[in-house]
Amino acid sequence: MKANKKTKLKNDKTGYLKVVGGLVALLLLIIIGVLVYWETQGSIDSFEAITTTYTEDSDGNTFTQWTGGTGSNSTGEIIKLDNSPDSFTYVRAWNGTGGGTAQACTAGTHYNSNGRYLQIVAGSLDNFTQVNVSYTSNMASSEDTASDMATTVFDLLPIIALAVVAAVIIGVVMGFGSGKRL
Amino acid sequence: MKSNLKAKSFKTNKNGYLKIVGALVALLLMIIVGILVFWETADSIDLSSADANASKNTTTDMATTVFDLLPIIALAVVASIIIGVIMGFGAGKI
């Protein structure tokens, strides 16, 4: 693709002005593109890390404290998250809503995740009525990768302008020997 | 799929580069909107059996890989433009 063939500046007295104008337009469009992309990306809350407090299981039943006897905590609790998690920042069980003591939870020991469902292992935690979960969703993780690549693309786009300027300079320098330019 | 054949028309189009930049931004935006739609849909589907859930997880894992690779299209387009401009250095018609 010899995209610069069409420029033919030697036959156009205002050719360089047009090239400069085109380059400025290109660079302006790039920063407008960057603006539009990041404003759109930033406006979607689903791409943020999610921290949610749960006081009831996936069936809508409030957690019942377990003090060693038979209770909902002893049979395990299943929590339905808003999105499927990619990774957990933390899972904490509290023994009282709005206060009390937090019990840090470890994956495999205190909880297991399956898709959107988080299962608290039966009998592994005492007396909790509230579970706080902070996680990065699969959606946010995928978007993060796409945005990383978008950043690279936006970094490379101005190199087009650089290459065009280099082509013009080389064209002028090549004309030195022909005696028909400048 | 010779999708880049159409790009040759840019050599006769004064606003070709500007259109490509607009198309790239649109592509990147469409990718993140696609991610949003896919995961919202996938997460809203509850399957009853373990086998069905296993199949669903395999599909979503592959979808994650696809979403990781999609932005590379934009990268390849930018690289092809830069290479196209550099190849033009030898044309001697500037």
At A31-54, the pLDDT tens digits run 999 999 999 999 988 888 888 888
Domain membership of residue A86 as a residue range: 49-138
Decide if A87 is inside a domain: yes
* pTM for this entry: 0.73
Decide if A181 is inside a domain: no
Element (H, E) at B24: helix B16-44
Task: Give chain B positions within 8 Å (CB) of A1.
Answer: 4, 7-8, 10-11, 80-81, 84, 87
Neighbours of B33 (CB within 10 A): 14
> A124 touching B, CB under 8 A?
no
Residues A55 and A13 in one domain: no
Residues A76 and A16 in one domain: no
A172 compared with A89, residue with greater pLDDT: A89
CB-count burial class (<10 Å; 0-12, 13-18, 19+) for B25: buried
Residues A116 and A169 in one domain: no
> A47 touching B, CB under 8 A?
yes
Question: Mean per-residue pLDDT for A150-165?
Answer: 89
Residue B30 confidence (pLDDT): 92
ipTM value greater than 0.90? no
Residue A11 confidence (pLDDT): 61
Look at residue B9 and tell me whether its pLDDT is greater than 90: no
Name the domain count of chain A. Answer: 2
Look at residue B89 and tell me whether its pLDDT is greater than 60: yes
Residues A68 and A129 in one domain: yes
Decide if A180 is inside a domain: no
Check CB contact under 8 Å for B71 and A149: yes
Decide if A103 is inside a domain: yes
Residue B48 confidence (pLDDT): 78
Residue B94 confidence (pLDDT): 42
How close does chain B come to A117, measured CA to CA in Å?
Answer: 10
Decide if A30 is inside a domain: yes
Return the top range by mean pLDDT from A66-75, A93-102, A137-146, B43-52.
A137-146
Residues A103 and A152 in one domain: no
Task: Give chain A positions within 8 Å (CB) of B85.
Answer: 3-4, 160, 163-164, 167
Per-position b or e across A121-155, b if 16+ CB within 10 A of its CB: eeebbebbbbbebebbbbbbbbbebbbebbeebbe
Residues A123 and A80 in one domain: yes
Check CB contact under 8 Å for A22 and B17: yes
CB-count burial class (<10 Å; 0-12, 13-18, 19+) for A14: exposed
Cα separation, A8 vs A25, in Å, equals 19
A113 compared with A62, residue with greater pLDDT: A113
Q: Nearest-CA residue of chain B relative to A114?
A: B53
Residues A53 and A126 in one domain: yes
Residue B47 confidence (pLDDT): 79
Residue A37 confidence (pLDDT): 93
Decide if A182 is inside a domain: no
A71 compared with A168, residue with greater pLDDT: A168
Check: CB of residue A150 under 8 Å from CB of residue A37.
yes
Check CB contact under 8 Å for B89 and A166: yes
Cα separation, A136 vs A144, in Å, equals 10
Residues A134 and A69 in one domain: yes
- Tens of pLDDT, residue by residue over B24-56, are 899 999 999 999 999 999 888 887 787 888 888
Residues A107 and A126 in one domain: yes
User: Within chain A, where are the H helices?
Assistant: 15-42, 138-175
Decide if A29 is inside a domain: yes
Residues A112 and A73 in one domain: yes
Residues A133 and A149 in one domain: no
Residues A66 and A124 in one domain: yes
Q: Nearest-CA residue of chain A relative to B40?
A: A83
Decide if A131 is inside a domain: yes
